[in-house]
Every structure is written in C-alpha cells, then in structure tokens.
Amino acid sequence: MKIESLGVKTFRHKTNTVRDSDGHGHPGPESDSTSAVLTITTDTGDTGHILTRPSDLAEPILDRFVRPNLIGQDPLCTDKLWYKVYKWQRLSGGLLNDRVLAAVNLALWDLKGKATGQPVWKLLGGHRDKILAYGSTMCGDDLENGLATPGDYARFADWLINTRGYKAMKLHGWMPPVPGAPDPRMDYQACAAVREAVGPDVPLMLDPHHFYSRTDTLWLANKLAELDFRWMEEPMEEASISSYKWLTQNTALNILGPETMTGKHWTRAEWVKHDACDLVRAGVWDVGGIDPAMKIANMAESFHMSCEMHGTGAANLTVACAIANTSFYERGLLHPFIDYDKPKEYQNRIDDEMDADGYVHARPDPGLGQDLNWDYIEANLV
Amino acid sequence: MKIESLGVKTFRHKTNTVRDSDGHGHPGPESDSTSAVLTITTDTGDTGHILTRPSDLAEPILDRFVRPNLIGQDPLCTDKLWYKVYKWQRLSGGLLNDRVLAAVNLALWDLKGKATGQPVWKLLGGHRDKILAYGSTMCGDDLENGLATPGDYARFADWLINTRGYKAMKLHGWMPPVPGAPDPRMDYQACAAVREAVGPDVPLMLDPHHFYSRTDTLWLANKLAELDFRWMEEPMEEASISSYKWLTQNTALNILGPETMTGKHWTRAEWVKHDACDLVRAGVWDVGGIDPAMKIANMAESFHMSCEMHGTGAANLTVACAIANTSFYERGLLHPFIDYDKPKEYQNRIDDEMDADGYVHARPDPGLGQDLNWDYIEANLV
C-alpha cells in the first residue's frame, strides 16, 4: 500500500463564535467561516481524513515539505513518516509548524484504522470504551447572562453538573480584553462560586490567564487548593520551566502542563524529569499528532503520572481511550449561549457525543471516528 | 471480537545446547528438550501464537491469574488486558512473573496483527523494514576451538564479520563455572583480541560477568573505552542504581541498562531520570511484553536516548523495526559449533533470517512473523 495523493478541500460554513482582540472565542452573531479537510489516498483506494483549520493546510507548505516526504510511502508506517516530515521543520523557517505535523499524522492514523478495519483507540491499546468528560467553559466575557460574573459561572456549573450530566468541570477565567482582567482575585471568585454551586465532591479545574507573575500564580494556586480543585493549567508563560518547578514545590495544588510550549515529547520529558508538573499535558494538535502524544503518555506512565489530553475532537478522544493513565476527556468549549451537542453543518454527528451520565464513548467505527457530511462539504467548496 | 480460549501445546524437540551449573548455555551433544506454544483464540476464529518455555505457561498460573482476566475480552485492547493481568502480580506470590505477562501480551499482538492483516512492526510505527544485526556470542567456555581463549573469540569474530556478513558483534565473556572466571582481565583480553581481528571500525560490545565490583567494573569500562567499544551491559547487580549512576559519571564508555532488573518501564524511567545509563535496555521477555517495551522506547526517545532490544526472536525484532530510536537487533546466541541459521524442527524458518549484508528484514506477514511447523508440533506433543 502506497500513498498516492494528499488533497485539501476548503469549505464555507456558519459559525456562532467570534474572536476577541486577544484571540479568545466568545458567542456571537452567526457569521461565515471556513474549515478544511485533509485527505490522504493510497493506490489501493484507502483514505484517511482529518478536519482542521485551512491555515494548517497551506498548499505551498504541503507542496514543499509534506508531499515529497509522503507520496509513494507506506501510510501504515506512521512514526517513520512523522520523522520524515518533522525533520524538515528546521529548514522551513517556521512554516512547517506542529499543527501541520499533527494534521498529516492524524489523517494517516485515520487511514490506518480504516485500512485495518479497526478503531484507532483499539489499535493503540484500547484501555477504555468510554471516558468521563469534564465540561470545559469558554473564557469569561462581559455578555449579560453569559460568563460575565461569578454568579454566571455558578449558574452554568449548576446546569452542567445537575442537568446535563457532567461529572466534572473546568473554568477558563477572564482574559484581556475583558474589563478588569487579568486578575487572580476575579478568577478565584468565579472558582469559589462554582465550588459553592456544585458542592464539595465534583472535580473542578481552572485554566486561567496565561501570563501571571509567580506571586499571583502562587496566591491563586493556594486558594484553589483550599477549594479542593483538581488542577490548574498554564498560569504562567511555559517557556520558564524553572517557574513551574518552583510552583509545584510551593503549592499543594496539582499543576498540569505543559500545554502550548513547543518541543513535543522532548519538552514534556524535561518537565517530568525536573518535577515541573504533577500531571502531564498532551494535545494531539499541540505536540504534532498521535505518535508524539502516545510517546508522552507512555513516558508519563513510566513515572506514575497522569497524561491529560488537551482539547476536544476525535483524535484526542482516541488517545484518551487508548491509554491507561488519564482521568478525563476535555469537552467544549461550552457556554450558556451555545448548543455544543448540535452537529455543525459539515458533520453528520459531533465527534464526542456524551450520555446522560457524563461519559463520552469511544467510537466503534474504523479510523478516528469522525463522521463528516461530504454532501455539505462538496456543495460548499471555496 | 472476544477471546474464547487460551491453550498451551507443549512438545518435544532436540537441542544441542546444554546448561552449565550457573545456567549459561553452551554447545553440547544432542539431547531432548521441550518448548511450548501459547495460542489465544477468539469467537471469530482469529488466533495468536507465541513460542516460549513451558515454565512460562504453567496451567495453574494460567487458570488462576490469566484466563479469568482474558476470556470474553476484546483481544485488540492489548494494553488494557496487560493491566488486567499485571494487577494480579501482587497477589500471586511471585508465580505470575513478567515472562507470563510477556507471553500473553505477545500472543495478543500476534492475534492483533493477524486480525488486521498487518505485520505488528507496521501497526506500531513502522520505522524500518530492515535492521542491522550484531552477532551476539554465547558465553565463554573451555571447549577446544570453541570460545575458550582470546584467540578463539578473535577467530570467530573474523568469521562473523568477514565471512558471514555481520556489521557488528557483541561478546559474552567468561562466567563461572568456567575456570578462571570471573576476571575482568580475561574479558579485556578477549575484547582486545576481537578488536585486533576486526579492525577499528566495527562496532563492538561486551556483556560480561554480572556481579563485578565497582572497581573491577570501572577498570574494565575504561579499558573498553580505549578499544572504542560501543557499549557494555550489566557488569554489576542492577538493583544498585546508584552504582550505575556512579559508573556512567566516571567512564567515557556507554553503559546500556537495565536488562534483567524487574520493574518494567517504571524501573527504566528511574534509570533515565537519574542518568544511570547512556542507552536504555528493553527486551519483550524482560519487561512483560510489547506494550511495556513500547513505553520504554517512547520514554527513552523523549530523552534522546537509544532503546536497544534485548534478545532475539520475532517480538524483539518487531519492536526494533517499529521504533525510531534503536541501532541494532541482537542476533544469537552464536558459537562456532552451532548453525544458527538452521531452523529448529518446530520452525519452517527462523524468525530472524539475515542477508549477506548483515541486515535482518522485518517480516511482511501479518502478526509477529513467526512461522511454526504445526505438523511437527502436533506429532510431538507431550
């Protein structure tokens, strides 16, 4: 079996998320957006797909750095092909970023699952066929009855836990340009209101502003420990591993990371070796795909550490169900104004349907378990 | 797909290896031996096999600790099943050792490959379709024209490299009860004679007596560094990680380990974290199977360290071909009196046929790539 082509289809669809001046998503009026599907096709007619942002699949980058390394190769040799493309990163001047590596690797794994007739979570180890989700909110905002006040977060938490069935929840705090942010005291007030709303037994986490100082971070961490929060993520720029080592030494709160720091499994190994985190973060889109995510999970397991997948979607769900050492699937981002359970126009179903008990089920379908509406995509090509 | 049965077939065959009083194998007159095949069968008629020692497959152990955890389960969920069986180790009083875990895990992976129609080395990453072997000798002996003198090793090295086509070689030194052993000076003389015989460019390694003192070990390590040896293995009891950290700090020679130390990927992570080795050792039979071996390889890769598989056979070859971070496949054990390339009576071919350039090729067959002679096995059941 040999790879014959890598093709991209970019298509229009509606969105009800708007980006603020700092890039955070919030609910907004319906507007136009575009997404893209990467398709890898073999000489035997097997295919693998992955849905992503059009910016991850720029034709000049695929042409120069990806296609020459993949065409004619055996698509099942996923890690070999990951290295072939990865090695061009040094020479690409930053064009070939980890999201491109991820898109290619995920499409290959989708193909590998389909070619073998198996869901990828089973190929990778098959540790569980369902996993509890935590409801992961959007960042705070200044929308009336949105996520503008501690009371808003508390009301939404009550709905997530007591109505929708989530068994755990993570807040994203207020970030600039929301008035008053960043402020660790605002973050704490929202967390305290949520703890009050859901009671003492529900696992809670916080992903706050990412550029706090050490002192603000430590104050917030200790306050969250008092609230029995499960973990906090990325309160400081992650390039400073020393600051995270200092933080984990000085607070009882669990620190999860690194999330957005570049360097794939190699960076995460350094954080583990230097005790800079209590739980290890891996997201397939952050670390360049399923192969590096599995390396991170396996490395973390060798040190008795949990590996918590970052972000939603079929591929993160796949890894979370494959491995032993994880606790939750991140589901969202959620907001009172958004119906997360409704498929997008380009989906026949969402990747991560959740039952009334708060479990997202691993898909039995071969591949990664995406179910795209190809008629819609073909009819709305850019 | 569900596991329906785990069955064992034990059978007689001839061997020309005899064990000395300390358990080391040497060439000897043909005698009777037994081996066993574990077969896992599913309700869909899929099967997986692994050849091993009968002592790894004792029926009371399978009945009490293995079958209850496997029957009715999905065989593709290899890591999930590994954990199910592994957790019974604490309660088994040492009966359920890592070789039992390994046998079960390898048979499951053989089944997984066959059920998906793919060789396992591709399912796991597919990094290379062939790998250079090093010729790995038996331990030294006192057989005339065997491996009794430095000159014997040198003559055999010349044949391995210059006639048979190996591109690298590893000596096992003299161990008790061979007269004069253990003696680091004897080991060194054999190594020096081999270096002289093969010239400066052939990668050479040593696996000496495993119970040297720190001072004997350091003396030998420094002498091997002068001979430009690639690595040394297990010169001291491996339970003393501090001694290995001390050794790596004090010699320029690369130290490979741990090999026989229990503790699976968790032990190897400690050696890496504490800089107790330069290269990491993993053998599927030592660490409990392919899943833990992959965790070790992935952990090592995250620290820029090579993972060198211990021992021969289809499953170690599978992992070596799957991963990026390894350098050689260990082929042997070899001796001037033994024809390693000749299949045993119970094999249609050996697992690791080597070409004239010193490469062992990954098998294209679905599963682990063993080719057993079932007619022979059925006709010679115990």
| Contact at CB, B296 and A302, closer than 8 angstroms | yes
The answer to whether A77 touches A112, Cβ cutoff 8 Å, is: no
CA distance B59 to B219: 47
H or E element in which residue B242 lies: helix B241-250
Q: How far apart are the first and last CA of chain A?
A: 31
**pLDDT of amino acid A94:** 81
pTM (2 decimals)? Answer: 0.91
CA of A125 to nearest chain B CA: how many angstroms apart?
A: 5
CA distance A55 to A50: 14
Whether residue B150 is preceded by a cis peptide bond, meaning omega within 30 degrees of 0, is no
Which is nearest to A102 in space by CA: A147, A137, A52? A52
CA of A325 to nearest chain B CA: how many angstroms apart?
A: 11
Residue with tokens 């059009």, as numbered in its chain: A54
Find the closest chain A residue to B274 by CA distance.
A273
Find the closest chain B residue to A81 by CA distance.
B127
Stretches in chain A below the pLDDT threshold 50: none
Indicate the burial class of B356 (C-beta count within 10 angstroms; 0-12, 13-18, 19 or more): exposed
Q: What token pair was written down for A148?
A: 């503008």
Residue with tokens 């670390």, as numbered in its chain: A287
**pLDDT of amino acid A95:** 85
The answer to whether A259 touches A285, Cβ cutoff 8 Å, is: no
| Contact at CB, A294 and B298, closer than 8 angstroms | yes
- How many CB pairs below 8 Å do chains A and B form together? 107
| Contact at CB, B127 and A77, closer than 8 angstroms | yes
| Contact at CB, B303 and A273, closer than 8 angstroms | yes
The answer to whether A95 touches A61, Cβ cutoff 8 Å, is: yes
State whether residue A262 is helix, strand or coil: coil
**pLDDT of amino acid A308:** 98
H or E element in which residue B282 lies: strand B279-282
Q: Sort out which chain A residues have CB atoms less than 8 A from B79's CB and list them.
A: 124-127, 322-324
Q: Sort out which chain A residues have CB atoms less than 8 A from B265's CB and list them.
A: 298, 301-302
CA distance B282 to B289: 10
The residues on A that touch B, with CB distances below 8 Å, are: 74, 76-80, 83, 112, 116-118, 122-128, 265-266, 268-269, 272-273, 291, 294-296, 298-299, 301-304, 322-324
**pLDDT of amino acid A341:** 97
Q: What are the φ/ψ torsions at residue B377 (nearest 5 degrees)? A: -60, -50
Q: pLDDT tens, A343-375?
A: 999 999 999 999 999 999 999 999 999 999 999
**pLDDT of amino acid B241:** 95
CA of A296 to nearest chain B CA: how many angstroms apart?
A: 7
Q: Which amino acid is at B236?
A: M
Q: Sort out which chain B residues have CB atoms less than 8 A from A83's CB and list them.
A: 127, 324
Find the closest chain A residue to B127 by CA distance.
A80
Q: What are the φ/ψ torsions at residue A42 (nearest 5 degrees)? A: -105, 170
CA of A242 to nearest chain B CA: how many angstroms apart?
A: 17
**Cα radius of gyration rounded to whole Å, chain A:** 20
**pLDDT of amino acid A309:** 98
**pLDDT of amino acid A90:** 87
Which is nearest to A372 in space by CA: A128, A13, A123? A13
Q: What are the φ/ψ torsions at residue B136 (nearest 5 degrees)? A: -110, 115
In sequence order, what are the residues at sequence separation of 6 or more whose Cβ sits closer than 8 angstroms to the Cβ of residue A201?
A: none
**pLDDT of amino acid B219:** 98
CA distance B329 to B317: 7
Q: Sort out which chain A residues have CB atoms less than 8 A from B125's CB and list them.
A: 77-80, 291
Minimal Cβ distance to A80: which of B123, B126, B296:
B126
The DSSP secondary structure of A85-151, one letter per residue, reads HHTTTTTTTT-S-HHHHHHHHHHHHHHHHHHHTSBHHHHTT---SEEEEEEEEPPP---TTSSSSHH
The answer to whether A260 touches A238, Cβ cutoff 8 Å, is: yes
Strand bridging mode B25-42 / B3-19? antiparallel
The answer to whether A363 touches A15, Cβ cutoff 8 Å, is: no
Q: Sort out which chain A residues have CB atoms less than 8 A from B80's CB and list them.
A: 125-128, 324
Long-range contacts of A66-70 (CB under 8 A, 24+ apart): A66/A6, A66/A96, A66/A100, A66/A104, A67/A6, A70/A3, A70/A6, A70/A40, A70/A104
Find the closest chain A residue to B302 by CA distance.
A266
Note whether ipTM > 0.95 here: no
**pLDDT of amino acid B94:** 81
| Contact at CB, B128 and A80, closer than 8 angstroms | yes
| Contact at CB, B299 and A294, closer than 8 angstroms | no
CA distance A190 to B169: 65
* Torsion A109-A114-A119-A122 (CA) sign: negative
In sequence order, what are the residues at sequence separation of 6 or more whose Cβ sits closer than 8 angstroms to the Cβ of residue B293?
A: B282, B283, B284, B287, B309, B319
Residue with tokens 């993949």, as numbered in its chain: A70
Minimal Cβ distance to B298: which of A74, A118, A299:
A299
| Contact at CB, A76 and B122, closer than 8 angstroms | yes
**pLDDT of amino acid A278:** 98
Find the closest chain B residue to A108 by CA distance.
B125
| Contact at CB, B301 and A265, closer than 8 angstroms | yes
Residue A91's CB is within 10 A of a number of other CB atoms, namely: 10
Question: What are the C-alpha distances in Å from B192 to residues B171, B195, B223, B299?
Answer: 11, 5, 9, 34
The answer to whether B381 touches B9, Cβ cutoff 8 Å, is: yes
Question: 3-state SS of chain B: helix, strand, coil percent to 5?
Answer: 35, 20, 40
**pLDDT of amino acid A237:** 93
Q: Where are the alpha helices (DSSP H) in B278-373?
A: 284-287, 290-302, 314-322
**pLDDT of amino acid B91:** 85
Q: What are the φ/ψ torsions at residue A143 (nearest 5 degrees)? A: -90, 135
**pLDDT of amino acid B95:** 85
CA of A277 to nearest chain B CA: how many angstroms apart?
A: 15
Which is nearest to A351 in space by CA: A309, A314, A312, A310? A314
Stretches in chain B below the pLDDT threshold 50: none
Q: What token pair was written down for B25?
A: 């194998």
Q: Which residues pair with A362 in a beta bridge?
A: none
